[in-house]
Amino acid sequence: MTTAIPALTLNNGVEMPAVGLGVFQTPPDETIGAVEAALSVGYRHIDTAAAYGNEREVGEAIRRSGLDRSDVFIETKVWISDYGYDETLHSFEKSAAKLDVEQIDLLILHQPLPSEFARTVAAYRALEALLSDGKVRAIGVSNFLPVYLESLLAQVDVVPAVNQIELHPYFTQVETRELDARHGILTQAWSPIGGITSYRDGMPKRTFDDPTILAIADAHGKTAAQVMLRWHVQQGRSAIPKSVRPERIAENFDVFDFELSDAELAAIDGLDAGVRGGPEPADVNLENFGRPIPEA
Ligand code: NDP
């Protein structure tokens, strides 16, 4: 087991570990165990969200670990129901109180709200204020396709540090990645090992069963998940795999001791099927996805 944690430098100089633990769909009563397992094998980055309902448990696990607060990079997200300037400032207060921290390392908007984009921009303006007040160390967005990113960039001052998007071998989002790169925005992969191709009904095929990935894994004595994570790391992306199982949490972090060849990276790039597993960003609105985020 390695404890080396390559860091990525965000566009404002803040450093973020390249691989973190995601906790979407991790029930609150399993979150403390999962985060503790991760921290014990060397993870120092946790990705949660106001909408996941487990920020309190993420904070509790970090406290129980005995690590200094500054040793763990905490990323969380503002839910669409809290968009708007004052609402988003209050969303920070709720998340910080649940996490029991003074400062959040990276706070991002969970989704664009295309039907009410002015509210999305106002929410981002609140993130800018939190950044200048030192309440957060970096700010960003998630699920911002080029059309939304371009529109946001035209209306705000601070270029997002991160755009967290669905990104796995079957959905590689080249256009969004290229736009991110052009603006110095780090692309962060959600569902980095294609979990959504397994847990979402109706997906055509599972990344874990892919013959190309399995052959590469076999050649390196690694698992399919490890190969997919290595593919992200070598291409300079952040990845936040989720698991509640300690053995998989450890497996997903054990990706820093092997190297994929250019041909192997290209072979994985070539698996893109262009099929999105998550919601179409254009379809997300307050009517179908809105729900209140509880007070702390
Ligand atoms: P992942 O690609 O991380 O896959 C997670 C799934 O794969 C789970 O079902 C997990 O099951 C299983 N799994 C984990 N490790 C292994 C392994 N080594 N071998 C086989 N199976 C494995 O997908 P997620 O969609 O969970 O995405 C990861 C994170 O990204 C989330 O937790 C969240 O932080 C973020 N995210 C953000 C979104 C956004 O809109 N911004 C949307 C979705 C996710 P088990 O737990 O049983 O091990």
Q: In angstroms, what is the span from residue 199 Cα to ligand 1's centroid?
A: 9
Average pLDDT per block of 10 residues along the chain, 296 residues long: 75 98 98 98 98 98 97 98 98 98 99 97 99 98 98 98 98 98 98 97 96 98 98 98 98 98 98 96 96 97
Per-residue confidence (pLDDT) for residue 1, from 0 to 100? 43
pLDDT of residue 4: 58
Q: Is 140 in the pocket of ligand 1 (CB under 6 A)?
A: no
User: Does the beta carbon of 231 sit less than 6 angstroms from any atom of ligand 1?
Assistant: no
- The dihedral over CA atoms of 120, 113, 238, 41, expressed in degrees to the nearest 10, equals 100
DSSP string, 80-106: GGG-SHHHHHHHHHHHHHHHT-S-EEE
> Does 289 sit in the ligand 1 pocket, CB within 6 Å?
no
DSSP structure class, residue 160: P
Distance from the CA of 195 to the center of ligand 1, in angstroms? 5
Cβ–ligand 1 distance for 38 under 6 Å, the answer no
Among 22, 64, 27, which residue's Cα sits nearest to residue 45?
A: 22
Distance CA 38, CA 20 (A): 9
Q: How far is CA 3 from the centre of its chain?
A: 21
Helix, strand and coil content of the chain, in percent to the nearest 5, comes to 45, 15, 40
Q: Is the pTM of this model over 0.95?
A: yes
- 8 A C-beta contact, residue 85 and residue 256: no
Q: Is 246 in the pocket of ligand 1 (CB under 6 A)?
A: no
Half-sphere exposure of 11 (CA within 13 A, CB side): 16
Is residue 22 lining ligand 1, measured as CB closer than 6 Å? yes
**Looking at the domain covering 7-289, what would its CATH class be?**
alpha beta
From 226, 243, 284, the mutation candidate for ligand 1 (largest count of ligand atoms within 8 A of CB) is 243
Cα(22) to centroid of ligand 1, in Å? Answer: 7
DSSP-derived secondary structure for 261-275: -HHHHHHHHTT----
In this structure, which residue's CA is closest to atom 16 in ligand 1? 248
Instruction: Determine which residue's CA is closest to atom 6 belonging to ligand 1.
Output: 195
Distance of CA 211 to the CA centre of its chain: 26
Please tell me the predicted confidence (pLDDT) of residue 5: 75
Question: Would you call 52 a catalytic residue per the annotation?
Answer: yes
The per-residue pLDDT for 61 is 98
Q: How far apart are CA 36 and CA 57, in angstroms?
A: 10
Largest CA distance in the chain: 53
241 Cα nearest atom in ligand 1: 3
Burial of 97 per CB tally in 10 Å (0-12, 13-18, 19+): middle
Contact 144, 187 (CB under 8 A): no
Distances (CA, A) of 62 to 3, 230, 281: 17, 26, 32
- Work out which ligand 1 atom sits closest to the CA atom of 198: 9
